[in-house]
Structure 1
Amino acid sequence: MTSGTTKPTVGLAPISALHTGSGDPLLLLHGFMMSPHCWEQVAQRMAGHCEVFAPAFTGHWGGPDFEGWYLDVSLLADKIEDQLDEMGWRTCHIAGNSLGAWVGFELARRGRARTLTAIAPAGGWKNPSTLQFRVGLKFLSLVPFVEIGRRLPRAISYSAPVRLAAALILSKNTAAAPRRGIEAAITSALHCKAMLPMLAGGLRAPALDDLSTLRVPVRLLMCEHDRIIPNRVYAKRFLQELPDSADRIMIHDVGHVPMLEAPDRIATLIAEHVYASRTRLRAV
């Protein structure tokens, strides 16, 4: 990652949604404690082929506010459905990363997806299960750092060591992740009101329905160096339950949020899936 001044990138501000391009409707959904900023580079590349809409989730930086101490995937999907209805999108292509992929599966179950590209999807566990508790504890361990970060001067919160630590969590090749994207990820985490409500909601909400019943074309993208939900443990259910027609692809040399370090590859993989659905081709 680049060093230099610790002042955050000029113009970095919360956004309720990215909306750009024209063509087939494409919904891009970000991960837990992230924001639409993580999709900026992919959205730019897809705008010539699709009308791209990347909203901020409820309780996340730039997203709608909420009341109470309980939030789950179903409630996030409810709000996204309201936004799709407002835009007149009865169905659309969906690509989601981590929590966004989990919400994408829920929207697909509701009949809102033409295709689904699931990138390092969360939710590949039963409820309750040791896998669920392990990932919950992993995010709980971040709470002290987030609370401290909210109180620190900006020069420290966005310093080179902090940016490097964030980049190491989210990506494999830290030098390839743009400074703006890493600073947006830090800011998103510091302003995520949904952190504890989502963790509490995850304990009460039902697990993903049987994936073998999905009738939507699915492309599963697994990240080789995922440090947040490693494939060898958390991808098993998706690999086993998804229909035989689903694509199962390992993206080499990337971390949990590959849109930051490999936007060209991610945009290509999404575009291929969208195109294959148009022409009824089976991707290889």
Structure 2
Amino acid sequence: MTSGTTRPTAPPAPMRALHTGSGEPLLLLHGFMMSPHCWEQVAQRMASHCEVFAPAFTGHWGGPDFEGWYLDVSALADRVEDQLDEMGWRTCHIAGNSLGGWVGFELARRGRARTLTAIAPAGGWQTPSAIQFRVGLKFLSLVPLVEIGKHLPDYIAYSGLVRQAVALLLTKNTSAASRAGLEAAITSAMHCKAMLPMLVSGLRFPALENLATLRTPVRLLMCENDRIIPNRTFARRFLEELPESADRILVHDVGHVPMLEAPDRIATLIAEHVYASRTRLRAV
């Protein structure tokens, strides 16, 4: 029997990239302070008909290092493009969550996306703006907690209380998120070297270009119980600017990182969009 003061397993290991399956090329992009681990359950479900590649962003846990104190979406996209070139993927299907959705729009603008599934995407604000400032403050408030967490013993840092707090932030149905997924989210946050540089330089990020001119087929997935970037404020620009042909879907009863609590639903929604692009049929 394991005592209450020790952990039965070691903390999760860093992952440079998750690469599995065969078929249509599918790029999965994680959110700010997260890692490829958040895509593991979705990747397992997609691997039978897609070659799935989920890299760690620059400055994030498992990803390449960077120099200086400025890191923006364009730089993250540059590195992902290099990886796509290394794999021989001129274009691919892309699904991105939060910051990953923002990078996905940038890659689509560069002509690298066959389709884009944007899951609770960040970046739906003007620069500078009050909305952008509010997002920065929300993440800035996490900095002290992350710094304290780095110095705690594992049995506290990964305790049930901490896992529950993280689950409440990232999901709606906290019991549906696996222990492994939550522990990876905790570890990702504590090892995110890009956290302060991206927050400090965030006000200088250029805003997303006019989304109405985007030619890539887009499926926008808004999360009903998003506590990080609530839909009422942060989805407005996507809803108003995306072309009429874009799918706009409200995913009920999920939080900001729905892959952790509803991998079946998210995999299905991505797969529908990929299939519709191949068959020229609209998924409903």
Same fold, TM exceeding 0.5? yes
Which residue is 1:206 aligned to? 206
Pair 1:100–1:82, CA change in 2 (3 A): same
Q: Which runs of 5+ in 2 are unaligned?
A: none
Pair 1:65–1:160, CA change in 2 (3 A): same
Superposed counterparts of 1:84-103, under 5 Å: 84-103=84-103
Which residue is 2:134 aligned to? 134
Q: Equivalent pairs: percent with the same residue?
A: 83
Q: Give the CA deviation at 1:283.
A: 2.4
Q: Give the CA deviation at 1:199.
A: 1.1
Runs of 4+ in 1 over 3 A off after TM superposition: 3-6, 8-11
SS of 2:201's equivalent in the other structure is helix
Which residue is 1:13 aligned to? 13
Quick one: which amino acid aligns to residue 107 of structure 2? L
Quick one: which amino acid aligns to residue 202 of structure 1? G
The answer on whether the counterparts of 1:29 and 1:104 sit within 8 Å (CA) in structure 2 is yes
Quick one: which amino acid aligns to residue 91 of structure 2? T
| Cα distance per residue 1:231-252 (max 9 Å; x no partner) | 0000000000000000000000
The answer on whether the counterparts of 2:11 and 2:183 sit within 8 Å (CA) in structure 1 is no
Q: Give the CA deviation at 1:200.
A: 2.1
Give the TM-score normalised by the residue count of structure 1.
0.97
SS of 1:233's equivalent in the other structure is helix
SS of 1:183's equivalent in the other structure is helix
Counterpart Cα distance in 1 of 2:116 and 2:96: 8
Quick one: which amino acid aligns to residue 163 of structure 2? R
Superposed counterparts of 1:246-265, under 5 Å: 246-265=246-265
Counterpart Cα distance in 2 of 1:245 and 1:16: 35
Quick one: which amino acid aligns to residue 17 of structure 1? A
Q: Give the CA deviation at 1:189.
A: 0.2
Pair 1:9–1:91, CA change in 2 (3 A): farther
Pair 1:121–1:87, CA change in 2 (3 A): same
Counterpart Cα distance in 2 of 1:210 and 1:101: 15
Pair 1:205–1:280, CA change in 2 (3 A): same
Pair 1:6–1:97, CA change in 2 (3 A): farther
Which residue is 1:176 aligned to? 176
Which residue is 1:74 aligned to? 74
RMSD: 1.3
Quick one: which amino acid aligns to residue 65 of structure 1? D
Which residue is 1:162 aligned to? 162
Give the TM-score normalised by the residue count of structure 2.
0.97
Counterpart Cα distance in 2 of 1:37 and 1:125: 28
Which residue is 1:32 aligned to? 32
The answer on whether the counterparts of 2:12 and 2:187 sit within 8 Å (CA) in structure 1 is no
Work out whether 1:125 is the aligned partner of 2:125: yes
The answer on whether the counterparts of 2:11 and 2:187 sit within 8 Å (CA) in structure 1 is no
Quick one: which amino acid aligns to residue 208 of structure 1? L
Quick one: which amino acid aligns to residue 196 of structure 1? L
Q: Give the CA deviation at 1:201.
A: 2.5
Q: Which runs of 5+ in 1 are unaligned?
A: none
